[in-house]
Chain A
């Protein structure tokens, strides 16, 4: 399936409106769309609505052998799937450039910023650790999938509870939720990604672009930050040269 191409009239209209500081849905330059976060029935399931953009995140865990380079740490695995439901342009095969870019940004934002304490996921050093797997499914693409995905992933991680384990010598018993209450993950801080779209070679800037605005933008800057005003990751694409003030 192919997406309907953007007509020249629409493109000119959008660019002209941005020059006059007007957006399609009447927002200001720095306004976000309405965010709605809902949780599902089981632990670690989270739905995020950012305007019309909808994503779902599910966290699950499994006991595996740790990586040889880091025998004391648990493993985090992220998988962001661009489902064909979200947009007719997304195909079932995963090689698309956008999918790789979003996956890398999500990994950098959550794994490299060390927001989860991976050492607490270790059960038996060198033999068994918890592997936390975060699957993000995009349900509807109306622009700015990255922000919605980062909010969904971190909310799902906060909501998730892993089973309790007991260690007696060499043997490990995993208790079911009925036997012992599951334990939450230890999260140090919550990085959230914010996207900026640039138009006309960096002259105009918009926050939280919707799908139409994404099509006509020249470049995109994604910054992941947490509550303590620390930057967790920056990714700039589209070859826009920015001055420091911007």
Chain B
């Protein structure tokens, strides 16, 4: 019985000083990603950022209930399952953020009256959860072969009490931060597709964080390219 070759790809931590502001550094925890690890979903991926890891599964295009169908587009449904307990209000708002990003990048009009279901399962939460959701979602949608107008990635920034901008914070850093922001950046023009913020910050700090996130997204997109290239070069 043939099995899909699962490819694990890891990117090691790089720290670099950005021109944006001398007090901010773009450093990520170690990344990892694995595609096609589940046999039943049409597309699946697992994304690891340091200790935070998320598994995503995609089914689609498939049959949709008549009450939910849209005559000219696919209906996208996103489900977030926390590790402990039943999904609550926090999971609903995370689902909303991921769904808006996916709807903006997927070509939904190619599959009218169909359903696309994206399920995200938290495997371990150590900070930057929403951006991990976004990255895993993008890799799973790619793995399922759904047409997208652009790829997207998620970057989380935390502003600490002394004004330092930390990218990809751990849970401990998030707790002590003054503000926490997650941005979804698209791959074509590096514009912000979705933003979710918590805490208080000035307009200048917001613009700085967006600039830092845009610089950081380049690394993530390069990681996507490398991992997909590695995966398919083995099969050839």
Residues of A bordering B, CB below 8 Å: 1-2, 25, 40-42, 45, 52, 54, 56, 58, 60, 79, 81, 83-88, 92, 133, 135, 137, 139-142
A25 to B170, CA, bound (A): 44
Q: B96 in the interface, Cβ–Cβ < 8 Å? A: no
When distances are taken between beta carbons in the complex, the residues of chain A under 8 Å from B126 are: 41
Q: B40 in the interface, Cβ–Cβ < 8 Å? A: yes
**Inter-chain contact A40/B84, CB cutoff 8 Å:** no
Residues of B bordering A, CB below 8 Å: 1, 38-41, 44, 51, 55, 57, 59, 62-63, 79, 81, 83-86, 115, 117, 119, 121, 123-124, 126
Nearest first, the 3 A-B pairs at minimum CB distance are A85-B57, A85-B119, A140-B38
**Inter-chain contact B84/A135, CB cutoff 8 Å:** yes
* 10 A-B pairs (CB sep. < 8 Å): A1-B62, A41-B51, A41-B124, A41-B126, A84-B119, A85-B38, A85-B40, A85-B57, A92-B79, A137-B121
**Inter-chain contact A25/B1, CB cutoff 8 Å:** yes
Known A85-B41, A139-B55; 5 more pairs at CB < 8 Å: A1-B117, A41-B51, A45-B83, A52-B39, A140-B40
From B39, B117, B124, A142 is in contact (CB under 8 Å) with: B39
**Inter-chain contact B39/A140, CB cutoff 8 Å:** yes
A139 to B115, CA, bound (A): 20
**Inter-chain contact A133/B84, CB cutoff 8 Å:** yes
A196 to B121, CA, bound (A): 30
From B40, B41, B81, A81 is in contact (CB under 8 Å) with: B81
- Report the minimum CB–CB distance from B62 to chain A (whole Å): 5
When distances are taken between beta carbons in the complex, the residues of chain A under 8 Å from B38 are: 52, 54, 85, 139-140
- Report the minimum CB–CB distance from A200 to chain B (whole Å): 25
From B59, B86, B123, A1 is in contact (CB under 8 Å) with: B59
A192 to B39, CA, bound (A): 25
Query: Closest residue of chain A to B3, judged by CB?
Result: A52
**Inter-chain contact B85/A40, CB cutoff 8 Å:** no
Query: Given the known A-B contacts A1-B63, A58-B83, A140-B40, are A40 and B124 also in contact in the complex, defined by CB atoms under 8 Å?
Result: yes
A232 to B125, CA, bound (A): 35
**Inter-chain contact A85/B55, CB cutoff 8 Å:** yes
A88 to B119, CA, bound (A): 11
**Inter-chain contact A88/B59, CB cutoff 8 Å:** yes
A202 to B192, CA, bound (A): 61
A83 to B86, CA, bound (A): 11
Query: Closest residue of chain A to B39, judged by CB?
Result: A52
- Report the minimum CB–CB distance from A116 to chain B (whole Å): 18
A87 to B41, CA, bound (A): 7
- Report the minimum CB–CB distance from B101 to chain A (whole Å): 19
- Report the minimum CB–CB distance from A134 to chain B (whole Å): 10
**Inter-chain contact B85/A135, CB cutoff 8 Å:** yes
When distances are taken between beta carbons in the complex, the residues of chain B under 8 Å from A58 are: 83-84
Name which of A41, A85, A142 has the most chain B CB atoms within 10 A of its CB.
A85
A81 to B124, CA, bound (A): 17
